[in-house]
Structure 1
Amino acid sequence: MARRDFRLPAADEAFLDSLGVAWDAVQEGGVQWTILRQYRLPPGYMPEQVDVAIQISAGYPDAALDMAFFLPHIRRVDGRPIPATDGRVAVLGAAWQQWSRHRTGANPWIPGEDDLASHVHYMDAWLAAEFERVR
């Protein structure tokens, strides 16, 4: 049963419904989280599916969404380390793996244009780009 402690903008809820995965809107300790259940990762990661938590910033949708958190923790199938994933954040009693990925001046959050859908697409892009980095 989906948990809906708060409502997201209608366009966000429609986007989440279109993904074909279960999702929750959880409020815990005054912090709002959207959790995508059994989200499929691009090839090259283990496990192939994870839960993804995205913190809904105070002031969203004008305020930017940032980072993503994964459970179980993700690793590369080739065993190479993934930088900036050492942080752990407690959500729903579990330690989620923090991927510290942020918007930049070249790719800023644009209020009125960016939303949960663009953040998930941004997340998908940096998950895929992990395998394109020069070592």
Structure 2
Amino acid sequence: MRKQFLLPPEDTSFLDSLGLNWETLKESNSEWLIVYDYPVPKGYSITCVDVAIKIPSGYPIAPLDMAYFHPALQRLDGKQINATNCVQALDEKSWQRWSRHRTGTNAWEPGVDSIITHFISIKYWLEREFQ
């Protein structure tokens, strides 16, 4: 697995604890984390998906935002998933962007938030789609 840049040790420990393959890569002047075969809740057309997160310059002070999925997630019931119409080219694949953002009441807190809390948000976004 490629490790083209380093993440903070607590993020590395968390990612290792998932028991999934993951890597960091640099592409087009951006840094990305990719986690492979991340399980998704029932109701989607697939059971696992690859997740990419763009790591901004200045992370972990700078906030993480959104998530990108490959292959694109679809609901089994055929309903459209809102704010997923943009596609990101990354690592020679097309990634479905889920445009999900923190709000003023849930702002990024440096020293508190991290890849760990971002994955909590991703899990929530995936589950909330069916609520």
Superposition TM-score, scaled by structure 2 size? 0.98
Q: Distance in 2 between matches of 1:6 and 1:46?
A: 33
Report how far residue 4 of structure 1 moved.
0.3
**Which residue does the alignment assign to 1:25?**
24
Identity of aligned residues (%): 47
The 1-side partners of 2:56 and 2:121 are apart by 16
| Aligned-pair Cα RMSD in Å | 0.6
Deviations 1:69-115 (A, max 9, x none): 00000000111110000010010011100000000011110000000
The aligned residue for residue 103 of structure 2 is 104
* Deviation at residue 30 of structure 1 after TM alignment: 1.3
Residue 104 of structure 2: SS of its match in structure 1?
coil
- Kindly provide the amino acid, as one letter, of the partner of residue 81 in structure 2: I
Q: Deviations over 1:19-72 (max 9, x none)?
A: 010001111111010000011001111211111000001110000000000000
Cross-structure match for 1:126? 125
Residue in 1 that maps onto 2:88: 89
Unaligned runs of 5+ residues in structure 1 are none
Letter in 2 for 1:54: I
Which residue is equivalent to 2:39?
40
Q: Which runs of 5+ in 2 are unaligned?
A: none
Q: Distance in 2 between the 1:21 and 1:97 partners?
A: 20
Q: Displaced runs of 4+ in structure 1, greater than 3 A?
A: none
Q: Could you tell me how far apart the structure 2 residues matched to 1:46 and 1:31 are?
A: 30
Alignment partner of 2:11: what SS? helix
Which residue of 2 is the match for residue 12 of structure 1?
11
Q: Distance between the aligned counterparts of 1:29 and 1:126, measured in 2?
A: 27
Instruction: Give the paired residue count.
Output: 131
- Residue 15 of structure 1 aligns with an amino acid whose one-letter code is F
Match of 1:73 in 2: 72
SS of residue matched to 1:46? coil
TM-score, structure 1 as length reference = 0.95
